[in-house]
Amino acid sequence: MITAGEIFECAMALIDELDEEGRAYSAETETYARRSPAIISSLAEEARRILGKRGDYGILDDLEDIVEDVSDSYAVGILPYGLAAALLNDENPASASFLQARYEEMRDWYAEHTPAEEEEIEDIYGVYEW
């Protein structure tokens, strides 16, 4: 299970905001850290919809929260690009555009290559005979 903080750390590496010791959390990244749980919540919900998962997950409260029902590979391989793009959108549109394009490319590949899950369909109108 991946936490929002681990996704944040990957995003900070992508946008070259790690400090001299390689840490993502610093005074310079405080604003990014505050914004990240809500952005990650939105990106994770998009991932769940792509995979056909239903539920009421809500917004992550902080970076310690676990990102539920999103595979670890998706969480660390794709979500950091979306987060980094969202965080840089105002201050560096060119970098944000590159990161967003990369995010969308990987998200779409993942959706295309992930098998759908089967589930029973309830005939609430009584029209079909199975």
Per-residue pLDDT tens digits for 93-116? 999 999 999 999 999 999 998 877
For the chain, domain boundaries = 4-113
What is the pLDDT averaged over residues 21-49? 95
What is the pLDDT averaged over residues 19-40? 95
9: tokens are: 């750390």
- Is-contact 84 14, C-beta < 8 A? yes
Phi, psi of 3 (to 5 degrees): -95, 160
111: tokens are: 């959706």
Residue 130: pLDDT band (50, 70, 90) is: low
18: tokens are: 């790690």
Closest-CA residue to 47 (of 109, 118, 124): 109
- Is-contact 52 116, C-beta < 8 A? yes
pTM of the full structure = 0.87
Q: What is the pLDDT of residue 122?
A: 82
